[in-house]
Amino acid sequence: MKYEIIISIAAQLDIEQAIEWYEGQLQGLGERVKQSLYDSLVEIESNPYLSSKRYKEIRIKYIKKFPFGIHYFIEGNKIKIYGFFHMKRNPTKWLERLK
């Protein structure tokens, strides 16, 4: 089955903030975050059921080399990305976005 990835505005802001923060720490590091995120999205699109459910129907795909998780929900042939969260912070932050 072909899946469509939909990234929420809130998740897009999470991504942009993470990339900007890492780029501010070391030039080029933001690009490495972006590449790691892209690689993880390709894996999710290929096999969205590989990541286990963590909160009811929400699944988390942890990206490589950085402490972030992509929080997503599968609905038919759509993969909805709700958040891109640093795993040392409150992981239930996404609940507010579903209300």
CB 70 within 8 A of CB 84: yes
Contacts of 30 (CB under 8 A, 6+ apart): 19, 20, 21, 22, 23, 24
pLDDT tops 90 at residue 51: yes
* Residues 6-39: tens digit of each pLDDT: 999 999 999 999 999 999 999 999 999 999 999 9
What pTM does this model have?
0.85
| Confidence category of residue 54, pLDDT binned at 50, 70, 90 | confident
Q: How many CB atoms lie within 10 A of CB 23?
A: 16
Domains of the chain: 4-98 (3.30.2310.20)
pLDDT tops 80 at residue 80: yes
Which range is least confidently modeled, 9-18, 35-44, 84-93?
Answer: 84-93
